[in-house]
Amino acid sequence: MHVIAIYPGTFDPMTVGHLDVAARASRMFDEIIVGVAASTKKNPFFSLEERVELAREITSPLPNVSVQPFNGLLMRFVKSVGGTVVVRGLRAISDFDYEVQIAGVNRHLDASVETMFIAAAQDYTFLSSSIVREIARHGGDYSDFVHPVVVDAFDKKYAAE
Ligand code: ADP
């Protein structure tokens, strides 16, 4: 059986914490599709195309990981690509409530798809895309938290402003 797992998120932008989850998941499943959600409600800093392109560059060393954008219901996207597992990362108790709620709803929508949680690595439990965006906005050094292509992307964005 060829198991396809979907790792969905906004990835605005992808951090080393996200990459760690994708890499660990890639050792457990045959194929991982990183699903970059349009997340228009969140009003992302990077466009959907930019977030997809960054995620593709960052995950390129992982041979069984690919990246696709999606819009709307996650479960519809999972079905459309033949996925049977949804992977989510868990950092702290604060993630838990929301994640369990979403997992429950998704299970209600389609009980044949399992949600699997990967505990954040100790070093990344405090790390989020919003913290990276905040440091970047104030001109601080966030280079330990992201791949160098993300630093370039922020530089380009701010230079264009
Ligand atoms: P969303 O908008 O769906 O929360 P994010 O891009 O913020 O999207 O996160 C995608 C997934 O990655 C979520 O399951 C989130 O909990 C997880 N995640 C985010 N940051 C980390 C991290 N530092 N370590 C492990 N998992 C993380």
Average pLDDT over residues 5-10: 98
Q: Is the CB of 133 under 6 A from ligand 1?
A: no
- Ligand 1 atom closest to Cα of 128? 20
- CA 131 – CA 94 distance, rounded (Å): 15
Checking if the pLDDT of 138 tops 90, the result is yes
What confidence tens digit (pLDDT) does each residue in 25-64 have?
A: 999 999 999 999 998 899 999 999 999 999 999 999 999 9
User: What stretch of H or E contains 7?
Assistant: strand 4-9
103, with CB counted inside 10 A (0-12, 13-18, 19+), is: middle
For atom 1 of ligand 1, the residue with the nearest CA is 9
Dist. CA 89 → ligand 1 center (Å): 6
Helices marked H in the chain — which ranges? Answer: 16-26, 48-59, 74-80, 93-109, 129-137, 148-160
Q: Residue 125 to residues 113, 134, 138: CA-CA distances in angstroms?
A: 26, 17, 22
Q: Is 145 touching ligand 1 by the criterion CB < 6 Å?
A: no
Do the strands 85-90 and 65-70 form a parallel or antiparallel pair, or are they unpaired? unpaired
The pTM of the full predicted model, rounded to 2 decimals, is 0.96
Q: Give the distance from CA 76 to its chain's centroid.
A: 17
Domains, the chain, ordered by start: 4-160 (3.40.50.620)
Q: Which amino acid type is present at position 43?
A: N
- Report pLDDT digits (tens) over 69-84: 999 999 999 999 999 9
Instruction: Compute, in angstroms, the gap from residue 20 CA to the centroid of ligand 1.
Output: 11
- Which of the listed residues 12, 88, 126 should we mutate to test ligand 1's pocket, taking the one with most ligand atoms within 8 A of CB? 88
Q: Is the pLDDT at 136 greater than 90, yes or no?
A: yes
Is residue 11 helix, strand or coil? Answer: coil
132: which 2 tokens?
A: 């990276």
How do residues 69-127 score in pLDDT, each as one tens digit? Answer: 999 999 999 999 999 999 999 998 878 999 999 999 999 999 999 999 999 999 999 99
- Separation of alpha carbons 68 and 78, rounded Å: 11
Q: Which helix (H) or strand (E) holds 117?
A: strand 114-119
Q: What phi and psi, each to the nearest 5 degrees, are found at residue 127?
A: -90, 130
pLDDT at 90: 95
Per-residue pLDDT, 161:
79
pLDDT reported for residue 160: 86
Instruction: Look at residue 93 in the predicted model and tell me its pLDDT.
Output: 81
pLDDT at 129 over 90: yes
Q: Is 95 exposed, middle or buried (0-12, 13-18, 19+ CB in 10 A)?
A: middle
Give the model's pLDDT for residue 153: 98
